[in-house]
Amino acid sequence: MRFETKIEFRQYLKLMYILTYRRRAFIFSTVLGFIFLVFSLLYLLGIIISDELPVFPMVFSALILIFIPISVYFSAKKNFYTHGRLQEQIVYEITDKEINISGESFKSQMTWEKTYKVQELKDWFLIYQNKLVANVIPKNSTDLDIVEFRRIVRNQNVKSKLKRDT
């Protein structure tokens, strides 16, 4: 199977937010941030009476609800624009034996046996080389046969989280 991809910054940013906010720690801290925000607003509106200004809840909710999304944005922007290969037109050739990836400035060949895992998200396939590094494939890629891709991955001895074929 052969197909082409080109990732735009908006797509990449959306993926980084999805990957960040899928983690339990970020979900928990975000919920906690909203709870502290509500508590702070209730204090400021005079509904909750206290002798002390709730500084900690205000600061914590601001950090969690403002700082984390902003830091994800700037981190994704820096990563996308400093790693030029992310912006290239990339051609994938995927077979039962290997994955060949070529861009405008690189060529790579990987065997399935060294692949860490393959994960399917709503709009993406992620082929992890290790716990932190993945090749990202948007599902809207030119000529990508999703059913065939899933079949190839399932036939490998690779940990995978794929959706069922419909």
Token reading at 18: 């999805």
Q: What does the pLDDT average to over 108-133?
A: 94
How deeply is 133 buried, as exposed, middle or buried, from its count of CB atoms within 10 A (0-12, 13-18, 19+)?
Answer: exposed
pTM (predicted TM-score):
0.84
165, pLDDT greater than 80: no
The CATH code of the domain at 87-161 is 2.30.29
Listed by start position, the domains of the chain span 9-84, 87-161
Per-residue pLDDT at 166: 63
Q: By the 8 A CB rule, do 39 and 48 touch? A: yes
**Per-residue DSSP letter, 142:** B
Q: What are phi and psi of 134, to 5 degrees?
A: -140, 150
More confident residue, 125 or 45: 125
pLDDT given for residue 53 in this prediction: 80
d(CA 120, CA 136): 10
**Two tokens, residue 19:** 């990957």
